[in-house]
Amino acid sequence: MGNRIIGLLTDFGLQDYFVASLKGVILSINPEAEIIDITHDLPDYSLQAAAFVLLASYRFFPHQTIFLTVVDPGVGSERHLLLARSDRYYFIGPDNGLLSPVIEAEKAEVLEITGENYYLTLRRTSFEGRDKMAPVAAWLSLGIDLSELARPAKSFERLSWPEPQITDREIRGSIIYQDKFGNLITNLSQQLVASFLNSNQGSSLALLAGRKRISEMAATYSQAPRNKAFFMINSLGLLEIAVFASSAASLLGLEPGDNVILKLE
Amino acid sequence: MGNRIIGLLTDFGLQDYFVASLKGVILSINPEAEIIDITHDLPDYSLQAAAFVLLASYRFFPHQTIFLTVVDPGVGSERHLLLARSDRYYFIGPDNGLLSPVIEAEKAEVLEITGENYYLTLRRTSFEGRDKMAPVAAWLSLGIDLSELARPAKSFERLSWPEPQITDREIRGSIIYQDKFGNLITNLSQQLVASFLNSNQGSSLALLAGRKRISEMAATYSQAPRNKAFFMINSLGLLEIAVFASSAASLLGLEPGDNVILKLE
Amino acid sequence: MGNRIIGLLTDFGLQDYFVASLKGVILSINPEAEIIDITHDLPDYSLQAAAFVLLASYRFFPHQTIFLTVVDPGVGSERHLLLARSDRYYFIGPDNGLLSPVIEAEKAEVLEITGENYYLTLRRTSFEGRDKMAPVAAWLSLGIDLSELARPAKSFERLSWPEPQITDREIRGSIIYQDKFGNLITNLSQQLVASFLNSNQGSSLALLAGRKRISEMAATYSQAPRNKAFFMINSLGLLEIAVFASSAASLLGLEPGDNVILKLE
């Protein structure tokens, strides 16, 4: 028995023939596959945004879900294709770093795809999502033996992922994602902020972001002051900069890559 | 036996982790659920657009469909979550007015969600769509007894919804929705226009919208004059301002909220 | 037994009630239908883009898939609705040229829809996708006899589709599609380019596009020079102008409709 659900995450957009082609290939091989779009509207070629959205959503899916992830500026080159497997999930994608954060989070075993027999073509192709990765995902969903499709990888690419720097008086981090509402998500985790506060009881916190100083912390969007940036621990357990019913990114002129400093006052 | 189809309507956009998280939660609880996207591209926080799209589409779905609607600037506050039930459909969403037009249209019974046992978390959350409403929708789709999930609501929020004003010589209404093509949909219904015309036989009609006077009425888009605004009764039975193969909103500089007057000439 | 998969291709966008209405109608008639979105984000009213995306993706779908295609500025007029059938697929859409390229590619039989008994309404409608074509697609997916729904068409509209002009020293073609990444796809096929090269062995090629001369040819995106336009045979077997990890359309200021000349040097 196979794993019926295949989640797709790409930067293909929805307006072209790309996503439909993936779906057609999958359904031609496994008509019972249930294909779920994670997202296709990632910024072009952004491995970090892709890795973030995958990390933020994969664990809500049923166990045995297969995630097919295609953000792939190196398509057609000699880079390998990966199939990572944890106790709970499968992840397929190019070996360009996209999968490394989820591999680490899931302590997944990393395989290198060798299933040429299952590809749509043996020729060089500029659409490996359609011609190689989608067929592998579909055959995997049919329950084919993994050894038919992949072998242990000797190594794989790691995505450069910004890590917070912690001192006695401050934590330096950065904005790693901006969502549709203009909320700015940082790499400062709830645990990190909590332990920083615990070591400095009685102090209050401020967040420096760009040239702004944000001193309001709120439990959720609706608890926040109006027309004013605040920070909160969001539903992913990460520190997020937001404005009630408005865009923090526009108000503050900040974007992913910008630095933040959480300070004692 | 449950109700397999769950329709999703949110302002989350498709580019982030939000919609995928809802789908993952639902499928983890009910792998047989069939999830249909109504839309996720509503204007941020627009309860009126959300209510309109729901009203315009829900009745085409199979009976017993469950609609999960999340446009929710008040997330995390003390406002309740609603579960409305008519003879034909179920509607789940925050108690902020989004559901009130469809509750009225369906003469639905209004319940207040109490199914804490089914939530993903009992803690305060800034993503109640994922942590509370999606699980309730999924359990409902499995056929769980409604008394497990909700109890009669004492009251609920009404959306302010503009009503036409009628006099002998004119009807005053407003634009309530702009679609992708730039068509402008008003709150003047076919019945209202027909009865107005019946009471004034032999007269012709003009529509004043912003500073424009529109005198052409057409039965459908392709019957209309070229490069010129006209009005018609659209497929929802509402008076709509349109331009053949072009955008009435751009041509006329009008948008939702603007007033219109239907006059005898 | 019917054909479970129905692929939707429209210019409706995803933000309104249009696509949801199609899906609701289909599922109300055939709850077992599996609806796949080909795309809904075509440029408004663009028959050529619609025909191109359909051509580029349909053959990857399982046999017996039903494609429901609605780009229809002439909605509500006297134009017919078509149902084309090949050995492998069904195609439903307005008789305005959208389907003619796929009819030719599939050598499909062309029928004219007559299934008034299956329409949602017998009245004139400005939403024939919802009221006529979606019900016909759904009933077809249930396996209803085709003679109930359609009869042979006497004629049908052909889309004007640019054909390359070939001389001894050059091929003149045009850009027929621009994808999300800004890649520019031409109507010059791999076979045409190969036979041109075969007849002129030892020569090299250059592509004139707008005021630019492009002399780099690459096998795939990642093989190409950086920051410089190149051309390649893409995954559809068509000559495409691209820039590595960037937009050829922006860099070159070109768009669909513009001419290209492939020349010997």
Own/partner contacts of B175-179, CB < 8 Å, gap of 24 or more, are B175/B209, B175/B241, B175/B254, B175/B255, B175/B256, B175/B257, B175/B258, B175/B259, B175/B260, B176/B48, B176/B52, B176/B256, B177/B48, B177/B49, B177/B52, B177/B53, B177/B256, B178/B249, B178/B255, B178/B256, B179/C13, B179/C15, B179/C16, B179/C18
Partners of A44 on chain C (C-beta within 8 Å) are 180-181, 245
Q: Which of A98, A119, A152 is the last residue of a domain?
A: A152
Query: What's the pLDDT score for residue A183?
Result: 96
CA distances from A235 to A219, B98, B120, B249, C43 (A): 10, 23, 12, 38, 36
Q: How large a percentage of chain B has pLDDT more than 90?
A: 79
The residue to which tokens 């998500």 are assigned: A185
Same domain, B176 and B86: no
- Residue A160 in any domain: the answer is no
Q: Is A73 on the interface with C (CB under 8 A)?
A: yes
At C80, list the tokens: 């017919």
- Given a cut of 80, whether residue B3 has pLDDT beyond it is no
Beta carbons of A27 and C38 less than 8 angstroms apart: no
Q: Which residue of B has its CA nearest to A50?
A: B16
- Residue B30 in any domain: the answer is yes
Strand C238-242 vs strand C66-70: parallel, antiparallel, or unpaired?
unpaired
* Residues 6 or more apart in contact with residue B187 via CB below 8 angstroms: B161, B162, B163, B164, B173, B174, B176, B238
CA angle C22, B160, B40 (to 5 degrees): 35
What is the longest distance spanned by two Cα atoms in chain B?
65
Give the residue-averaged pLDDT of B91-97: 97
Give the Cα separation of B210 and B254 in Å (integer).
Answer: 7
Q: Which of A7, A39, A232 sits opposite B14 (nearest CB)?
A: A39
| Per-residue DSSP letter, A126 | S
Query: What's the pLDDT score for residue C90?
Result: 98
Q: Is C220 on the interface with A (CB under 8 A)?
A: yes
Listed by number, the residues of chain C in 160-219 with a beta carbon closer than 8 Å to a beta carbon of chain B are none
Contact B234 C126 (CB under 8 A): yes
Query: What's the pLDDT score for residue A1?
Result: 44
Q: Which residue of A has its CA nearest to C62?
A: A28
Q: Is C5 on the interface with B (CB under 8 A)?
A: no
Dihedral sign computed on CA atoms, order B109, B114, B119, B123: positive
Contact A75 C221 (CB under 8 A): yes
Query: What's the pLDDT score for residue C2?
Result: 54
Contact B179 C126 (CB under 8 A): no
Q: Is C226 on the interface with A (CB under 8 A)?
A: no
Give the Cα separation of B92 and A189 in Å (integer).
Answer: 32
- Residue C243 in any domain: the answer is yes
User: Mean pLDDT score of chain A, rounded to an integer?
Assistant: 93
- Looking at residue C56, which CATH number applies to its domain? 3.40.50.10790
CA distances from C28 to C13, C36, C150 (A): 22, 16, 21
Query: What's the pLDDT score for residue B2?
Result: 54
Kindly report which listed range (A9-18, B1-10, C84-93) carries the lowest average pLDDT score: B1-10
Same domain, C89 and C211: no
Partners of B101 on chain C (C-beta within 8 Å) are none
* B237 strand-pairing partners: none
The closest of C23, C54, C49 to C36, measured between CA atoms, is: C23
Listed by number, the residues of chain B in 28-57 with a beta carbon closer than 8 Å to a beta carbon of chain A are 28, 31, 35, 44-45
Partners of B185 on chain C (C-beta within 8 Å) are none
Q: Is B74 on the interface with A (CB under 8 A)?
A: yes
Give the residue-averaged pLDDT of B236-252: 95
CA angle C146, C147, C153 (to 5 degrees): 95
Q: Which residue of C has its CA nearest to A24?
A: C61
- Is 0.85 exceeded by the ipTM? yes
Same domain, B30 and B145: yes
Distance (Å) from the C-alpha of residue B179 to the closest C-alpha of chain C? 6
| Res. A2 pLDDT band, cuts 50 70 90 | low
Q: How many CA atoms lie within 13 A of B167 on its CB side?
A: 7
Same domain, B130 and B172: no
Residue numbers in chain C where pLDDT is lower than 50? 1
The closest of A140, C28, A65, A19 to B27, measured between CA atoms, is: A65
Query: What's the pLDDT score for residue C201?
Result: 77
Give the Cα separation of A197 and A170 in Å (integer).
Answer: 10
Kindly report which listed range (A240-249, B198-207, B247-256) carries the lowest average pLDDT score: B198-207
Partners of C217 on chain A (C-beta within 8 Å) are none
Same domain, A145 and A188: no
Q: Which residue of C has its CA nearest to B240?
A: C126
Q: Which of A152, A173, A197 is the last residue of a domain?
A: A152
Partners of A232 on chain B (C-beta within 8 Å) are 126
Domain that holds residue A179: 165-264
Partners of C60 on chain A (C-beta within 8 Å) are 20-21, 24-25, 28, 130
Same domain, B109 and B181: no
Which tens digit of pLDDT belongs to each residue from B149-193?
A: 999 999 999 999 889 999 888 999 999 999 999 999 999 999 999
Contact B180 C16 (CB under 8 A): yes
Count of residues in chain B = 265
Q: Which of B52, B59, B221 sits opposite C75 (nearest CB)?
A: B221
Chain centre distance of CA B220: 23
Give the residue-averaged pLDDT of B43-69: 96
Neighbouring chains of A at 3+ CB pairs under 8 Å are B, C
Same domain, A66 and A139: yes
Q: Is A152 on the interface with C (CB under 8 A)?
A: no
- Given a cut of 90, whether residue B61 has pLDDT beyond it is yes
- Given a cut of 50, whether residue B1 has pLDDT beyond it is no
Judged by phi (left if over 0) then psi (alpha if -120 to 50, else beta), residue B16 lies in: beta
Same domain, A122 and A191: no
Contact B56 C15 (CB under 8 A): no
Kindly report which listed range (B101-105, B200-204, C91-95, C244-248) carries the lowest average pLDDT score: B200-204
Distance (Å) from the C-alpha of residue A220 to the closest C-alpha of chain C? 27
Number of domains in chain C: 2
Which tens digit of pLDDT belongs to each residue from A180-229?
A: 999 999 999 999 999 888 888 777 889 999 889 999 998 878 778 888 99
Same domain, B45 and B116: yes
Contact C20 B244 (CB under 8 A): no
Give the Cα separation of B16 and A177 in Å (integer).
Answer: 10
Partners of B62 on chain C (C-beta within 8 Å) are 24, 27-28, 31
CA angle A9, A10, A15 (to 5 degrees): 120
Which tens digit of pLDDT belongs to each residue from A30-80?
A: 999 999 999 999 998 899 999 999 999 999 999 999 999 999 988 877 889
Contact B36 C23 (CB under 8 A): yes
Which tens digit of pLDDT belongs to each residue from B123-152?
A: 888 899 999 999 999 999 999 999 999 999
The closest of C122, C230, C253, C233 to C178, measured between CA atoms, is: C253
Same domain, B178 and B144: no
Same domain, C88 and C139: yes
- Looking at residue A257, which CATH number applies to its domain? 2.40.30.90
